[in-house]
Amino acid sequence: MIKVSRKVASISPSMTLAISAKANELKAAGVRVINFGVGEPDFNTPAHIISAAKDAMDKGYTKYVAAAGLPALKKAICQKLKKDNGLDYDPSQIIVSNGAKHSIFNALFATIDDGDEVIIPSPYWLTYPEVVKSCGGVPVYVETTREGGYKMTAEQLEAAITPKTKMLILNSPANPTGSVYVQEEIEKIAHVCVKHNILVLSDEIYEKLIYGGEKHYSIAQVSPEMKELTIVINGVSKSYAMTGWRLGYLACAPVIAKAIASFQSHSTSNVNTMTQYAAIAALEGPTEPMEEMIKAFGDRRQKMMKLLDGYRDIGLDYVKPDGAFYLMLVVEKLFGKSYKGKQIRGSMDVADILLTEKQVAVTPGICFGDDEVIRLSYALSFEDIKTGLEKIAELAREVQ
Ligand SMILES: Cc1ncc(COP(=O)(O)O)c(C=O)c1O
Whether residue 173 is found in the same domain as residue 303: no
**Residue 329 forms beta bridges with which residues?**
318, 374
Compute the distance between CA of residue 129 and CA of residue 139 in angstroms, rounded to an integer: 6
Q: What pLDDT, on the 0 to 100 scale, is given for residue 217?
A: 98
C-alpha 39 – ligand 1 centre gap (Å): 8
The pLDDT value recorded for residue 18 is 75
170 in Cβ contact with 189 (< 8 Å): yes
Pocket around ligand 1 at a 6 A CB cut-off: 39, 99-101, 125, 171, 175, 203, 205, 235, 237, 243, 248
Same-domain pairing of 261 and 315: no
Q: Which amino acid is at 50?
A: I
342 within 8 A of 391, measured Cβ to Cβ: no
Q: Are residues 56 and 35 in the same domain?
A: no
Q: Residue 119 in 3-state DSSP?
A: strand
Integer Cα distance of 223 and 229 in angstroms: 10
Give me the CATH number covering residue 40. Answer: 3.90.1150.10
On whether both 201 and 319 belong to a single domain, the answer is: no
Ligand 1, atom 14: closest residue by C-alpha = 39
Distance 283 CA to ligand 1 centre (A): 18
Q: Please tell me the distance from the alpha carbon of residue 325 to that of residue 315, in angstroms, as a whole number.
A: 23
Same domain, 100 and 235: yes
Q: Please give the full DSSP string across 154-172, using - where no structure is assigned.
A: HHHHHHH--TTEEEEEEES
Residues 382 and 345 in one domain: yes
β-strands 373-377, 326-330 pairing: antiparallel
Last residue of a domain, one of 284, 314, 331: 284
Which of 284, 300, 316 is the last residue before a domain boundary?
284
Q: What is the pLDDT of residue 10?
A: 84
Q: Write out pLDDT tens, residues 162-171.
A: 999 999 999 9
Out of 284, 311, 344, a domain closes at 284
**Residue to probe by mutation, ligand 1, list 38, 104, 127, most atoms within 8 Å of CB:** 127
Same-domain pairing of 240 and 324:
no
Measured distance CA(249)–CA(76) in Å, rounded: 12
pLDDT score of 234: 98
Give me the pLDDT at residue 391, please.
97
Q: Based on the domain organization, do 84 and 177 belong to the same domain?
A: yes
Tell me, yes or no, whether 138 and 97 share the same domain. yes
Ligand 1 centroid–CA 65 distance in Å is 24
pLDDT value at residue 11: 87
User: Cα separations (Å) of 195 from 91, 268, 385?
Assistant: 28, 36, 45
Q: What are the residue ranges in the chain where pLDDT is below 50?
A: none
* CA count, 13 A, side-chain hemisphere, 369: 22
Peptide bond into 173 cis (omega under 30): yes
The dihedral region occupied by 170, where left means phi > 0, alpha psi between -120 and 50, and beta the remainder, is beta
pLDDT on residue 21 = 83
- The CATH number that applies at residue 143 is 3.40.640.10
Whether the model pTM is above 0.85 = yes
Q: pLDDT for 179-205, tens place per residue?
A: 999 999 999 999 999 999 999 999 999
Q: What is the DSSP letter of 214?
A: -
Measure CA 150 to chain center.
15
1 inside domain: no
220 plus 319 within the same structural domain: no
User: Same domain, yes or no, for 113 and 230?
Assistant: yes
Classify residue 72: in a domain, yes or no: yes
Q: pLDDT tens digit string along 92-133?
A: 999 999 999 999 999 999 999 999 999 999 999 999 999 999
Q: Which atom of ligand 1 is nearest to the CA of 39?
A: 14
Its domain, for residue 361, covers 6-44+289-398
When divided into structural domains, the chain yields a total of: 2
With the most atoms of ligand 1 within 8 angstroms of its CB, the residue from 95, 101, 245 to mutate is: 101
Same domain (yes/no): 280, 293: no
Q: For residue 203, how far is its CA from the centre of ligand 1 (angstroms)?
A: 8
